Amino acid sequence: MLTKLTTLAQQADGRYADSNQLQFLHDYFSVASVRLSAYEKIRAAHEEIIQQVRQSVNKTHPNLFLQNSKDLWGVCHRDMSYILRYVSTVVLIDDLEQLKTFLVWHSKIMKAFRDQYPSQIAYSLMEKIVTQLLTPEESTLVKPAFQLVGGFLQ
């Protein structure tokens, strides 16, 4: 939304925007209450979502957060918190470009530490847990953000 508003301001500088240029605003406002609801649900359940990811990982991949006998859960918890906040914000403001900017940086770090596989598992579980928390309409808005996260961790 912010990126689109900036583009609109640049394109319509000195004139009125036409209907095609304003369409994204109509689209946004038609689902704004759904976006807000999804954001608020994720915000309220933030810590619970991350704990459910940990519990699921511990059941299926008990050593996933261990590296050379060192428990990296604290780092993973921090990273998952960042991702979850970015995803929820992207849903609220409808701006995947904001998430892409963060993911470029985050994915480079994951690759440097060879943490793509644990991250892929954790974020896949996070997506499932989040979509169970939301209505189908809200889940539809969250899906593109999680797809983007998954794509950067390949």
User: What pLDDT digit, counting tens, does each position of 119-141 carry?
Assistant: 888 999 999 999 999 999 999 99
Chain segment 39-90, per-residue pLDDT in tens: 999 999 999 999 999 999 999 988 888 878 888 888 889 989 999 999 999 9
d(CA 94, CA 73): 30
Residues 117, 124 contacting (CB under 8 angstroms): no
The residue among 116, 103, 7, 92 whose CA lies nearest residue 42 is: 92
Token pair for 65: 């957060």
Token pair for 141: 């808005």
Quick one: pLDDT band at residue 115, thresholds 50, 70, 90? Answer: low
pLDDT above 90 covers what percent of the chain? 65
Phi-psi region of 16 (alpha: psi -120 to 50; beta: other; left: phi over 0): beta
- Residue 153 scores a pLDDT above 90: no
Quick one: pLDDT band at residue 35, thresholds 50, 70, 90? Answer: very high
The residue among 64, 39, 63, 62 whose CA lies nearest residue 120 is: 64
pLDDT at 125: 95
Architecture of domain 32-152: Orthogonal Bundle (1.10)
Non-local (6+) Cβ contacts of 72 within 8 A are 65, 66
Mean pLDDT across the stretch 105-111?
77
Quick one: pLDDT band at residue 104, thresholds 50, 70, 90? Answer: confident
pLDDT at 106: 79
pLDDT at 114: 67
